[in-house]
Structure 1
Amino acid sequence: MTSCTPGARIIPGFKKWSPATGSFRLPEVLGFRASGADAEAVAEAFAADLAELLVTTVCSATQAPALEFVIDPEDQRFAHIPEHVRPEAYRLVVGEAIALTAPTARGLYWGTRSLLQLLAANPALTHGEALDWPDYPVRGFVIDVGRRFSRPAFIRDLIRHMSWHKLNTLVIHLNDNEITKDTGRPWNEAQHGFRLRSDSDDFAHLASTDGSYVRADWESFEDLAASQGVNIIPEIDAPAHARAFIVHHPELGRNGGDSDMLDLTDSTAINFMKGIFNEFLPWFRGPLVHFGADEYDREHPQDYRRYFNEIAAHLRACGKTPVAWGSLSVMSKGAGVSKSAGVSKSAGPEPPAGYDRDVIMCSWNNEWYGPLEATSDGYRIINTNDDLLYTVPYADYYCGTGLPLERLWNEWEPHIFGAGQELSKGHPQLLGAMSALWNDLVLEDYTEQDMYTMVAPTFGLLGQKMWGGTPPGVTFSEFLEAQKALPQWPGKEFVRGGK
């Protein structure tokens, strides 16, 4: 959002906007021309969305178009943009016609989100030129479906709404269980869930009876996400939070199965988890897979370290980049350098206990593993700070009714983790940030609509913060006014009762 965008404020706003004299008015029939199949797919998606938002006829143009889509990776106007975010850059020129240019299809797609917001707010656009790109490559959200199932339509609408604000990463937390220390119930009564349903007899029994995704559901997530510029990161969480597996195989659990933690004293549970990943990795198209690894019993650090290293190596051997919740300050008082990880001693300290460093760490808690220690140990990290970015519906901890938006607007940027833990803006090991919704209170009565009401207002604000930071001179109240005036995102399903 900027104060100088043509005809309206968009969220997130342009990095650069240079106004010119004149204005473009949307015609009754808008013709477009696209160069190449990828650009044509983006153009067709734009046409469908614009028709929904404005009931405007959009068609492919055989003569001079009013709108042109171009993908040009050699365009030198993008050369100064940092390489790690350049694929998401775009250039928008508004004149007698409109031209969108980008080095990739994803950048072109982000340009259409800005253009849709502009046109839906005011079909008359000021002439000018925008050049836009994100500050960080990871801008995301975590949804906990392990403790509370979300219908496929809800997941797809999260993807659509995230995309509207250029949020590009959705972590789907696929298994978890009741926190029995809070409810006082024994483990054999604890609610638990694993949300993938395999056709294989070896794994089909793991799927929750109160809701799970078959492969066709997952394909629908991946298809939509690919078309909307969003990466899906699946998370299968262990060796803690593993009750959904232990309930079917008590021999895998600590205390004879009376636990939600895997027994890691031998290789049985580790091999079981490798088998689960082997079964479902073919479902997952993206390069990143999250293997959890948080909140294990701190009295068993060597067992934990073995699990962490073996699962990380297994995922890499399967062609995936492993992601984990940062826990190493508690589990080992620092990561150290695993000689097998191939990291030089200059990358950080080398305590005796070595952890694989080729893992992306979600820095979720400053005591479990804060950003200063994680980056010192050489890890690439994502800011998922619990104090600032966690919503737990109706809880009296974290944020029970939604994130504190005014506090975030006034005090937060992706490099800020609270409690004196702060990195430099644009730190090379900081990939970005993600907020999260955790369904800890499994006995509480609430719906997907309640969840959506809590998280929906955050996407615009966090999208702005992760894409371009806080716009100079824009107050929180001004941002709220702009957000209220913003057109609704297209393609809703679950609010219309989709299945």
Structure 2
Amino acid sequence: MRTLFIRVIAIVFAILPVFASAIEINQKPFVIPELKQWVGKNDMFRTTATSRIVVPKSNASLLHVAKLFAEDYKTIFGQELVISEGKANKGDFTFKTASNKELGKEGYQIKISDIVEITAPESVGIFWATRTLLQMSEQSKERELPKGEIKDWPDYALRGFMIDCGRKFIPLQFLRDYVKIMAYYKMNTFQIHLNDNGFKQYFKNDWNKTYSAFRLESETFPGLTAQDGHYTKSEFIDLQKLAEEYFVEIIPEIDVPAHSLAFSKYKPEIGSTEYGIDHLDLFNPETYKFIDALFKEYLEGENPVFRGKRVHVGTDEYSNTKKDVVEKFRYFTDYCIRLVEGYGKQACVWGALTHANGETPVKSENVLMLAWHNPYAQPDTMIEKGYDLVSIPDGLLYIVPNAGYYYDYLNHDKIYNEWTPAQIGNKVFSDTEPKILGGMFAVWNDHAGNGISTKDIHHRVYPAIQTLATKMWTGKSKTLPFDVFDSKRHDLSEAPGINIQGKIGKEPALVYEQSEVKKGSKMKYREIGYNYTVSFELEGTDEKKGTILFSTDETQFYLSDPIKGMLGFARDGYLNTFNYRVKEGEKVLITICGDNKGTRLYINGKLHDNLSMKTQWYNEGKDKMYYTQTLVFPLDKAGDYNSRIRNLKVYNYCKE
């Protein structure tokens, strides 16, 4: 019996470590995009007061990544990581490059023990690894990292997003922030659509009255540049330099020969009299002289305005009703491709050559085609012809804010569960098809003048960034159910130091209060985003028109708007007013509730006005546009008012 007891005790002690190990093994961390491989170990890595980033200082590229990581770590966590060289100690991060064919150009390995060791074939992989570490750390209250080993690499080389700046001006700072947001989610291609025009039915069916814009400074054609918002050459160069630092490629797009009203308004003789002046006249030699000069301005010289390896020339949605026009369109497309290539750039085009099927040859070798709508360019045919493709199917990946067609918000569930870049419309290819370089999604601001703000665009685009980043990196190998992914993604920030959403706090709560707001004072928070409630007690005086209560650099909330003297707000060039005027001597509780549908005013607890989406009709009811009246509420600074503001309360939910 004693022998049996000893044996039992021995077995118990033998298997206890196994049970303990099974319990303590760290589970796969949640990051976006999902990690390809994870081997969990026991325990956690913790930084110390002396934690460093250890990197060979002779390696300038790794030193650059180390500086970015140190800056971002300090921004998020407040701890400064010294960059050093030599032997790593407990609590340090180490960076080194080493060849590894399995990982490809952008892959990386991370070994997390008492030291975090990052290894990658190239510095871009080291950079993506730092994004992984930052995401893992920000989900831990103690910024701990689970010990284990990561191997990660993308399935697709091109992972992108396109934004239409032509129909709606997108401020430079927004684009700069988006470079960092995209990089945080390992997206590496940012296409900027620099010119376009509205639809003439919203402008009295008159092309000359229809909104159009070209967003770049031009010295070759003085007066061409949009006056309601544009980028100087130096600003656009600096944007591209920032993107290069974050391993993001910017593809500038000048869209011709359709969508070109800005050019034909400037130079009327190059507009088509047959198809509308938003189309360039392909048979007019002056059109080609204009195109030559326009592209030359941004492509010539040792330090051109367009710095990257690719330039997009548009070329879609032109008429195909006549054979001679089709052939001329094909000639024009080939002309633009070779024009760009003459400056050492790779040409990018929208797919249009099924729609414009003809005999005139169009160069395909080393041309990148965005496959957006199969009737315009059948992707299998384009692959046979030799084009490299970007998968950007309009029926799944086009956002047109509040337009009533395509998507207002993408169907993230469907994309996450069903799509990879190998699926273009109804065509499904092998996930290893070498001619499909990757994917993009797009936001098109078709309805110029519809009240949509950049905050509204971000509200639609940011969750799409998270979903599409996963699908373009991970392909079919993602393992999390969508509901888990959709829940956990809210735990991640947009990027270090960026909060375009205006989020304050994670749980529904009263997040800020102040007993009295004195004029000219500075608030703790810059703004509060959807969904929110802001309330305050007002002891009113007769304020002059244009009196601001709260503001940021971009947004003003008025006690007395500049036109009618009503309570209201302005952002993105739009002024929206409530049916309420501040009265002399009035004491009242004012409450504002805002979400992505509209903005509501309560007076003494009762709904007084609702600035929701409204329908605007055109052409005797034949055409309509939905006008949006949303507000991300500004809190940065108080204005120069005479009224008294007390008991300010800010909630991060709609308290209705």
The alignment's TM-score, normalised by the length of structure 1, stands at 0.89
Q: CA, structure 1 residues 319+471, in 2 after alignment: closer, same or farther (shift >3 Å)?
A: same
Q: CA, structure 1 residues 170+382, in 2 after alignment: closer, same or farther (shift >3 Å)?
A: same
1:355 matched to which residue of 2?
362
Instruction: Give the C-alpha shift of residue 142 in structure 1.
Output: 0.3
Q: 1:438 aligns with which of 441, 444, 447?
A: 444
In 1, are the aligned partners of 2:160 and 2:188 still within 8 Å (CA)? yes
1:112 aligns with 2:133: no
1:313 aligns with 2:338: yes
Q: 2:148 aligns with which of 121, 128, 134?
A: 128
In 1, are the aligned partners of 2:108 and 2:129 still within 8 Å (CA)? yes
2:175 matched to which residue of 1?
155
Q: CA, structure 1 residues 145+488, in 2 after alignment: closer, same or farther (shift >3 Å)?
A: closer
1:248-397 matches, within 5 Å, as 248-255=266-273, 259-281=277-299, 282-298=304-320, 299=322, 300-332=325-357, 352-358=359-365, 359-397=367-405
Amino acid at match of 1:303: K
Instruction: Give the C-alpha shift of residue 7 in structure 1.
Output: 6.7
In 1, are the aligned partners of 2:167 and 2:213 still within 8 Å (CA)? yes
1:478 aligns with 2:503: no
Q: Which has the higher contact order (CA 8 A, sep 6+)?
A: 1
Structure 2 Cα separation of the partners of residues 219 and 493 of structure 1: 24
- After superposition, the C-alpha distances for 1:231-268 in whole angstroms (9 at most, x for unaligned) are 00000000111100100100111118951011111432
Q: 2:414 aligns with which of 385, 399, 407?
A: 407
Instruction: Give the C-alpha shift of residue 456 in structure 1.
Output: 0.6
Structure 1 Cα separation of the partners of residues 553 and 63 of structure 2: 28
2:637 matched to which residue of 1?
none
In 1, are the aligned partners of 2:196 and 2:213 still within 8 Å (CA)? yes
Structure 2 Cα separation of the partners of residues 21 and 326 of structure 1: 51
Q: Could you say which structure has the higher strand fraction?
A: 2
Structure 1 Cα separation of the partners of residues 144 and 477 of structure 2: 24
Q: 1:210 aligns with which of 214, 217, 228?
A: 228
Structure 1 Cα separation of the partners of residues 416 and 199 of structure 2: 32
1:11 matched to which residue of 2?
32
Instruction: Give the C-alpha shift of residue 80 in structure 1.
Output: 2.6
Q: Secondary structure at 1:206's aligned position in 2?
A: coil
Instruction: Give the C-alpha shift of residue 102 in structure 1.
Output: 1.7
**Larger CA Rg, structure 1 vs 2:** 2
1:341 matched to which residue of 2?
none
Structure 1 Cα separation of the partners of residues 437 and 69 of structure 2: 28
In 2, are the aligned partners of 1:357 and 1:379 still within 8 Å (CA)? yes
In 1, are the aligned partners of 2:331 and 2:361 still within 8 Å (CA)? no
In 2, are the aligned partners of 1:162 and 1:459 still within 8 Å (CA)? yes
Structure 2 Cα separation of the partners of residues 471 and 294 of structure 1: 34
Structure 2 Cα separation of the partners of residues 481 and 450 of structure 1: 21
Structure 1 Cα separation of the partners of residues 478 and 75 of structure 2: 33
Structure 1 Cα separation of the partners of residues 264 and 388 of structure 2: 32
Structure 2 Cα separation of the partners of residues 219 and 93 of structure 1: 37
2:60 matched to which residue of 1?
37
Amino acid at match of 2:92: L
In 2, are the aligned partners of 1:147 and 1:192 still within 8 Å (CA)? yes
1:467 aligns with 2:467: no
Structure 2 Cα separation of the partners of residues 93 and 449 of structure 1: 39
Q: Secondary structure at 1:205's aligned position in 2?
A: coil
1:194 aligns with 2:219: no
1:340 matched to which residue of 2?
none
Instruction: Give the C-alpha shift of residue 27 in structure 1.
Output: 2.0
Q: Secondary structure at 2:280's aligned position in 1?
A: coil
Q: CA, structure 1 residues 136+125, in 2 after alignment: closer, same or farther (shift >3 Å)?
A: same
Instruction: Give the C-alpha shift of residue 331 in structure 1.
Output: 0.7
Instruction: Give the C-alpha shift of residue 15 in structure 1.
Output: 1.4
Instruction: Give the C-alpha shift of residue 305 in structure 1.
Output: 1.1
Instruction: Give the C-alpha shift of residue 493 in structure 1.
Output: 7.5
Q: Secondary structure at 2:424's aligned position in 1?
A: coil
Structure 2 Cα separation of the partners of residues 258 and 455 of structure 1: 32
1:491 matched to which residue of 2?
497
Amino acid at match of 1:413: T
1:32-71 matches, within 5 Å, as 32-35=53-56, 36-61=59-84, 64-65=88-89, 66-71=91-96
Q: 1:79 aligns with which of 72, 88, 101?
A: 101
Q: CA, structure 1 residues 12+135, in 2 after alignment: closer, same or farther (shift >3 Å)?
A: same
Q: CA, structure 1 residues 320+124, in 2 after alignment: closer, same or farther (shift >3 Å)?
A: same
In 1, are the aligned partners of 2:53 and 2:95 still within 8 Å (CA)? no
Q: Where do 5+ consecutive residues of structure 1 fail to align?
A: 334-351
2:634 matched to which residue of 1?
none
Structure 2 Cα separation of the partners of residues 181 and 383 of structure 1: 31
Instruction: Give the C-alpha shift of residue 391 in structure 1.
Output: 0.2
How many matched pairs? 467
> What RMSD over aligned residues (CA atoms) do the two structures have, in Å?
2.0
1:348 matched to which residue of 2?
none
Structure 1 Cα separation of the partners of residues 326 and 452 of structure 2: 37
Structure 1 Cα separation of the partners of residues 452 and 493 of structure 2: 27
Q: 1:234 aligns with which of 252, 272, 288?
A: 252
Structure 2 Cα separation of the partners of residues 97 and 416 of structure 1: 41
1:20 aligns with 2:41: yes
The alignment's TM-score, normalised by the length of structure 2, stands at 0.68
Amino acid at match of 2:386: G
Amino acid at match of 1:164: Y
Structure 1 Cα separation of the partners of residues 254 and 499 of structure 2: 26
Q: CA, structure 1 residues 5+244, in 2 after alignment: closer, same or farther (shift >3 Å)?
A: farther
2:109 matched to which residue of 1?
91
Amino acid at match of 2:379: P
Q: Where do 5+ consecutive residues of structure 2 fail to align?
A: 1-24, 503-525, 527-551, 555-656
Structure 1 Cα separation of the partners of residues 96 and 342 of structure 2: 33
In 2, are the aligned partners of 1:371 and 1:422 still within 8 Å (CA)? no
